[in-house]
A and B are shown apart, each in its own frame.
Chain A
Amino acid sequence: MTSLPISIRSLTKAHGALTVLDGVDLDVRSGEFMTLLGPSGSGKTTLLMVIAGFIRPSSGQVLVGDKDMTRVPPHRRDLGMVFQNYALFPHMTVGENVAYPLKRRSYSKAEIADKVNAALKIVQLEALSERYPSQLSGGQKQRIALARAVSFDPRILLMDEPLSALDKKLREHMQIEIRDLHDRLGITTIYVTHDQREALTMSDRIAVINEGRIAQVDAPAALYEKPKNLFVADFIGDSTILPLHREAGRLMLNGAPIHPGCAPEAIGTAPHLVIRPEKLEVLRDGQLPAGQNLIEGALRSALFQGDSVLVQVELADGAVLSLRQPGRHNLPEPGHRIRLGLPIADTVVLAGA
């Protein structure tokens, strides 16, 4: 199967005064798993619908390969799509559902039967071909929708929050299964979700979308470790974000200096410190390893959460930051002073809005 790259160029969609997409540029590489991640109302689903051809953009272009698709009607775009509620045809059997796209193309009866079988085999549900969608479980419907979307060897696969209706365990299982399917077929995939963990688990790259604009496009680890702006820092992971002050060219938190992981001049106005809870280390009295920033406060609470202990520390100015560590070791009594070390390499400082 040949997969194709997708290029979105200065795409804008406005409904009257409301701008849903605001000059979006995005390049998806051939065979890449790209996730559009954003809060609800951010425009991520609208972007997917424009790519699928269901929504006409106000301006801009959608290119698949080197072909301009912007004005091509949806039924001539040759994209597979998995809908949020599966959109299986209730009056057709599983087999008829999967055969539907094949019947619209010039395949012989024997070829259709072969391709339906092959698609059902991919999702390991060959046995269900005579069933009706209402006789399937949520996970089975999900797999059939996936089989239908890839049965006609589309060049691109689009998915609109396909796992949101499933329970947590099944969702995590399907995340791995979908990623595995993508790897086997090597098909360019655009996946929409509002679940950051899902995006981090599945994607080659993630495009974080906020208010109709792309906030950052990066690989999951880069997005998590090196967010480029406060929106991404806040949206991905459980960060504590604290405002910093500038004194004589140095960045200060409650009167203590903070050495950022990047050049301080690059930060601009209104600097903020972004702290990931697992990057902090509890230090013993008098200890300060080289290459760490020191943050001092008072222990407020330590909550056991099964796999880790969530520690809340109150700083001098009343701000509260969270850290996570495997056990209760090194922790003082609640209300007592606690010293925390943050590696300078992990000290992310970003400009405020």
Chain B
Amino acid sequence: MTAASYFTGSDEAGSAATLKDDERRERLAIAGLSLPALLLVAVCLIIPVGSLLALSFIGAQGNLSLENYQRLIDNKAYLAIFLTTFEISAVITLICMLLGYPLAYFITLLPPRAVGFAMLAIILPFWTSLLVRTYAWMVLLQKQGLVNSTLLKLGVIDEPIALLHNYAGTVIGMSHIMLPFLVLPLYGAMKAIDHDLIRAAANLGAGPIVRFWTVSFPLSLPGLGAGALIVFVLSLGFYVTPALLGGGKVTMVAMRIQKSVALYPNWGAASALAVVLLVVTALVLLLGLWIWRRNRGNRPVMS
């Protein structure tokens, strides 16, 4: 029996040509199975982004023009909006790293049953609408809100402090919403660290603090980097929370895009802003990928 007849069960000639036919048929089947997914990507991603790109090159008179991009360069207000967006995203990433690292590390130290509970507590907010979470922060942060009234009662402050409709409110709300995106990949990376490595470090003479800085921390860095990148990129395009908690005092790119569409019906200007934001975000992602690849090249982690 030949190889082909062995698999098909027939005793017909299993020549190289029939084997090649089998392979071609198999490939066609795989291509057919992936077709729905490809169509979905085309309809939901490529067409909208393509039309956005096209819109950004159409001027006020419906002609082909670069005026939408020219305006972004000429008007210094746009540069300020981009800088604000980057600054807020960077601040939120930093806050999430500072809050998320100890949190993720703490979860790795919990007994298995408590870990499930902690993970649930982190994932639970995802099941609540973003809008609801943002309104919850408005309730907490307002002048007569829980935060201010508690601080007043404790005598920490003499009069309510402004936590809402400003920079502080935006940062507090966004940090809360972004925190799980940092904690989840970071916890995954920490969990994957072989416990024997920590034991080996102890055996070789490293106390708890040295063990953390020489073994646990460097090995958790890929997870921290991945989480920080996700938080930063998501923050760049964030709209709802800064719009509601910023009270018009904080303008991020996504809010300016919404304004261009809703207030001035200028689709060209909005599209140009969106395209620039998309390109910048893509560049940030590529930079992250490049750093990751370079580190992996230096320090291969596969075993």
Contacts and interface: CB of A to CB of B under 8 A. Distances in A.
Interface string A64-85: 0000000001111111110111
Given A89-B197, A104-B210, A75 B299 contact: no
B49 interface: no
B205 interface: yes
A40 interface: no
Contacts of A52: 199, 203
A120 B68 CA distance: 65
A260 B207 CA distance: 57
B207 A87 contact: no
Contact of A74 (B202, B215, B298): B202
Contacts of A79: 203
A89 B196 CA distance: 10
B199 A54 contact: yes
Given A89-B215, A90-B219, A105 B196 contact: no
Contacts of B199: 52, 54, 74, 83, 87
Given A91-B218, A91-B219, A74 B203 contact: yes
Contacts of B303: 90, 133-134
Given A100-B214, A132-B299, A148 B202 contact: no
A286 B27 CA distance: 76
Nearest to B301: A90
A81 B197 CA distance: 12
Nearest to B210: A104
Nearest to B200: A87
A243 interface: no
B204 interface: yes
A10 interface: no
B212 to A, nearest CB: 12
B296 to A, nearest CB: 10
B196 A85 contact: yes
Contacts of A76: 205
A88 B206 CA distance: 15
A75 B197 contact: no
B302 interface: yes
Given A83-B196, A85-B196, A75 B301 contact: no
Contacts of A148: 204
A48 to B, nearest CB: 11
B49 to A, nearest CB: 38
B72 interface: no
Contacts of A89: 197, 200-201, 214-215
Nearest to A134: B300
Contacts of A101: 204-205
Given A104-B210, A134-B301, A135-B300, A152 B205 contact: yes
Contact of A104 (B204, B298, B300, B302): B204
B194 interface: yes
Contacts of B219: 90-91
Interface residues of A, number: 30
Contact of A81 (B200, B211, B218, B301): B200
A211 B299 CA distance: 43
Contacts of A81: 200, 203
Contacts of B202: 53-54, 73-75
A90 B299 contact: yes
B205 A105 contact: yes
Contacts of A74: 199, 202-203
Contact of A87 (B194, B211, B214): B194
Nearest to B214: A100
A85 B194 contact: yes
A230 to B, nearest CB: 35
Contacts of A91: 218-219, 299, 301
Contacts of B200: 81, 83, 87-89
B266 to A, nearest CB: 51
Contact of A75 (B207, B218, B298, B302): B207
A78 B205 CA distance: 7
Interface in B39-64: none
Contacts of B215: 89
A87 B197 contact: yes
B213 to A, nearest CB: 12
A257 B62 CA distance: 114
A104 B215 CA distance: 13
Interface string A42-66: 0000000000111000000000000
Nearest to B193: A90
A150 to B, nearest CB: 11
Nearest to B222: A91
Contacts of B298: 132
A84 B200 CA distance: 11
A105 B206 CA distance: 9
B218 to A, nearest CB: 5
Nearest to B295: A91
A250 B52 CA distance: 101
A81 B202 CA distance: 10
B195 to A, nearest CB: 9
Interface string B81-110: 000000000000000000000000000000
29 contacts: A73-B207, A74-B199, A75-B201, A75-B203, A77-B203, A78-B205, A80-B203, A81-B203, A83-B196, A83-B199, A83-B200, A84-B196, A85-B194, A85-B196, A87-B196, A87-B199, A88-B200, A89-B200, A89-B201, A90-B197, A90-B301, A101-B205, A104-B205, A105-B205, A132-B300, A133-B303, A134-B301, A148-B204, A152-B205
The 3 tightest CB contacts between A and B, nearest first, are A104-B205, A101-B204, A87-B200
Given A74-B199, A90-B303, A91-B218, 19 more contacts: A74-B202, A74-B203, A75-B205, A75-B207, A77-B203, A79-B203, A83-B196, A85-B196, A87-B196, A88-B200, A89-B201, A90-B299, A100-B201, A101-B204, A101-B205, A134-B301, A135-B300, A148-B204, A152-B205
